[in-house]
Amino acid sequence: MKYTDEFLKKMPKSDLHLHLDGSLRLDTLIEAAKKLNIDMPSYEQEGLKEKVFKDKYTSLGEYLTGFQYTCAALRDLEILERASYELAIDNQNEGVNYIEVRYAPQLLMDPIKGIDLEMVIKRVHEGLDRAKKEYNNKKEVKDGDLPKFDYGIICCAMRNFGPEFSPYYNNFINVMPHMKKTHMMAHAAMELTRGAVRLKDKGYPIVAIDLAGEESGYPAINFKEAYDYAHRNFLGKTVHAGEAYGAESIFQAITLCYADRIGHGYSLFDPDLVVHRKIEDKQKYINDLSSYIADKRVTIEVCLTSNLQTNPEIKDIKDHPFKHMIENRIATTICTDNRLVSNTTMTNEFSLAVNNFEIPIKRLKDIVAYGFKKSFYPGTYVEKRQYAKDVMNYFDKITNEFELSSNS
């Protein structure tokens, strides 16, 4: 079935895997760099696109290079609030009704400047909330002709860090110079999770924690204590897993960290990346795990463009394991990952999906619905169900407008 870009832009969407620090507007980053004297390889949009934010990258390491500049810019609270506001506006302008904005607050904190966790969370919340109120006060939203806009905040713990990348982590190392790095990272994750629970209880829309950063060599089990704490305090759990490591990483995320969702899950179906010596039949292990994920409706946050950029061995998007996820009836959502770093939008990601994989309208409706039903919506379950129902009623309205039948 052929879907037009106009339809894909107009249909309701969510983005559940959206990094704030990878999704700034380029002109905002340049303006901030000049204001804060951030040393960058260029202060022109074309120069940054050529040297930093490319269409293609040679590795995950090159892909992550730009975050040193975006994080430096976001340590200014005014820029942080502005970037959050603009991110919401950019999503609203392409029919995205719900976003879960994730970022690592500890990368933006600065003990020297007195910028603490709550200040970082507060500014992001204020930027997003201003955009939400402006949108929901529109006449067509109030009249029920358009679904409302909403958002949640996901706090990312980092698997690995360098002191040069963050004043917070630099201070951490100075205070505890003899602590092993793995213990230090786990300690920082626990500190973040406790803070996230405390601020959620104060009314901030913090909906989940995440584990991001270098995956290989930094297993999820190291962060089990933080995820235990989140689990006991009713926070959602998502984990970057299967992005740069195999199915065993996804297994750990689900069984040891209670992950409700998996970020990327790219390597789920690759038997060559199953390495534990006790797993003799690697294909059976993958079959059992993928069936378990499908049965338990653990949702995979699929980021097509990002995966193509960080895995240059993919020569054709049709070889992306998203096709196996569809075949195995796994619950999936389409996400951008990083709008700036990947130079993409939600409309573009859906266009890649429907133009390269067999997705009839009924399956497309399921994927859209998962983005709302499997969200960590910052309200009660009853409120989330009603919100999802309103959005999917709008989906049916749009499919009828474009003469597409969601029952076919």
pLDDT, one tens digit per residue, over 236-273 is 999 999 876 789 999 999 999 999 999 999 999 999 88
Q: Are 257 and 220 within 8 A, CB to CB?
A: yes
Tell me phi and psi for residue 116, to 5 degrees: -105, -175
- In terms of residues, how long is the chain? 408
- What span, in angstroms and rounded, lies between the C-alpha atoms of 36 and 143? 43
Assess whether pLDDT exceeds 90 at residue 105.
yes
Assess whether pLDDT exceeds 60 at residue 10.
yes
Assess whether pLDDT exceeds 80 at residue 173.
no
What confidence score (pLDDT) does residue 245 get? Answer: 78
Going by pLDDT thresholds of 50, 70 and 90, the confidence category of residue 147 is: very high
What confidence score (pLDDT) does residue 378 get? Answer: 97
Bridging pattern class, strands 332-334 and 236-241: unpaired
Radius of gyration (Cα) for the chain, nearest Å?
Answer: 20
Q: Are 399 and 40 within 8 A, CB to CB?
A: no
Is the entire prediction scored with pTM above 0.85? yes
Mean pLDDT in residue range 101-122: 94
Assess whether pLDDT exceeds 60 at residue 164.
no
| Ranges 106-110, 172-176, 268-272, 354-358: which has the least confidence | 172-176
Q: Is 309 helix (H, G, I), strand (E, B) or coil?
A: helix
What confidence score (pLDDT) does residue 298 get? Answer: 97
Strands of the 261-264 sheet, one edge to the other: 13-19, 96-103, 150-158, 206-212, 236-241, 261-264, 299-302, 332-334
What confidence score (pLDDT) does residue 204 get? Answer: 98
Closest CA to 203 of 378, 83, 19, 408: 378
Higher-confidence residue: 187 or 405? 187
Max intra-chain CA distance, the chain: 65
Assess whether pLDDT exceeds 70 at residue 407.
no
Going by pLDDT thresholds of 50, 70 and 90, the confidence category of residue 314 is: confident
Which of 81, 100, 215, 243 is catalytic? The answer is 243
Report the CATH number of the 5-401 domain. Answer: 3.20.20.140
Assess whether pLDDT exceeds 90 at residue 112.
no
Q: Are 372 and 388 within 8 A, CB to CB?
A: yes
Going by pLDDT thresholds of 50, 70 and 90, the confidence category of residue 162 is: low
Assess whether pLDDT exceeds 60 at residue 218.
yes
Indicate the Cα dihedral angle 230, 231, 237, 240, nearest 10°. 80
Give the contacts of 165 (CB within 8 A, at least 6 positions apart).
Answer: 68, 71, 107
State yes or no: is 243 an active-site residue: yes
Closest CA to 76 of 48, 18, 115: 115
What confidence score (pLDDT) does residue 23 get? Answer: 98
